[in-house]
Amino acid sequence: MSAPASPVTPARHRVVLWGTGVVGSMVAAELVDHPVFELVGVGVSNPDKVGRDVADVCGLPGGSTGILCTDDVDALIALAPDALVHYGPTAAKADDNIRLISAFLRAGIDVCSTAMTPWVWPGMKQNPAPWIDPITAACEEGGASCFTTGIDPGFANDLFPLTLMGLCGRVDSVRASELLDYTDYEGDYEDEMGIGRPPEFTALLEIPDLLIMAWGATVPMMAAAAGIELDDITTTWEKWVTPTDRPSAKGVVKAGEVAAIRFTINGIYQGREVISLEHVNRIGLDAAPEWPAGSQDDVYRVDIEGSPSISQETSFRFTDGSGRAPAVAGCLATGMRALNAVPSVRDLPAGWVTALDLPLIPGVGTIR
């Protein structure tokens, strides 16, 4: 019997990180001593961060990395990184994202991003041509690839349900749910979801076309993966008004204001709902007690009715004593999905990349 092969030292990938908000800062901390990825540059859009060491901006241990944050895109491209990991703003700033990402792609630099969630499935008909065509052209010009992930839409609503669907002989329906307490969450939700607003306020995502475009891309993706074409995509939206004041990380949600929302995005096939995404987001675990909740607090859940029927819950937690909320742990998982995809994205042909194009990504270098 021959001796077992020696472990292969993984190739190093030089990356530029753009965006030092909640997600980008946590990913930067993971990059400091990562054996597979070398952080070579950091881009920011906030002028107050320009010229400061990334350790200072992101609160990294050690005091200094020697890498200064910059808003100079050309200077970052000149570093000739293997990839850009992009944790920029949402599609609300689509023009800025497209301009930045296109520049890297045209230079032949692959991009893995969490920002433009409609790009999770570029073929979704709700994607406007000005959001798609410039990236298609930039990929062709530079021979580079562009992959977008995210926690919703993203791996919780594509990788998880699609993997479980592959265990079935028949799927009558599949539902992927986010069931989170937002009490300690500091992300944007007032105008987007209407939490902390009067019930008569119309949140941006309450508008069906905006909701489908912003967070519904995985619905047609799952349909395509299953070999069907949906007849329609519909939405539902519910609000729960709190009878008492509720404290949160962003202030007090007052009595009479919306303290929980529940919405669904539903893929219709042959007259029935076959694919559904569901969000239940609360300020306080006791809010909207009649709405779905997990067997644990703060979970992502997949329910499949079929042969066999399957239920799965996934929770994200920090166990380092930092006290950071589960929603923040989910944000880190979001960022790491994009980073860990870099080696596989680099191996793919130029153009758009979706979750359906990627192999299993086990996270090379994570055990060390």
Could you tell me the CATH number of the domain that includes residue 118?
A: 3.40.50.720
Question: What tens-digit pLDDT sequence spans the chain (368 residues)?
Answer: 555 555 656 789 999 999 999 999 999 999 988 999 999 999 999 999 999 999 999 999 877 999 999 999 999 999 999 999 999 988 889 999 999 999 999 999 999 999 999 999 999 999 999 999 999 999 999 999 999 997 776 789 999 999 999 999 999 999 999 999 999 988 889 999 999 999 999 999 999 999 999 999 999 999 999 999 999 999 999 999 999 999 999 999 999 999 999 999 999 999 999 999 999 999 999 999 999 999 999 999 999 999 999 999 999 999 999 999 898 899 999 999 999 999 999 999 999 999 999 999 999 999 98
Give the containing element (helix H, strand E) for 144.
Answer: none
What are the phi and psi torsion angles at 64 (to 5°)? Answer: -155, 140
Residues 138 and 258 in one domain: no
Residues 195 and 111 in one domain: no
Say if strands 258-269 and 272-282 run parallel, antiparallel, or are unpaired.
antiparallel
Evaluate whether residue 5 is within a structural domain.
no
Residues 345 and 258 in one domain: no
pTM: 0.93
CATH code for the domain in which residue 224 is found:
3.30.360
pLDDT tens readout for residues 154-175: 789 999 999 999 999 999 999 9
Residues 199 and 345 in one domain: no
CB-CB contact of 216 with 228 (8 Å)? no
Alpha carbon dihedral 200, 178, 341, 216, in 10-degree steps, equals -50
Query: For residue 83, what are the domain limits?
Result: 13-149+341-357
Total domains in the chain come to 2
Residues 310 and 193 in one domain: yes
Residues 248 and 109 in one domain: no
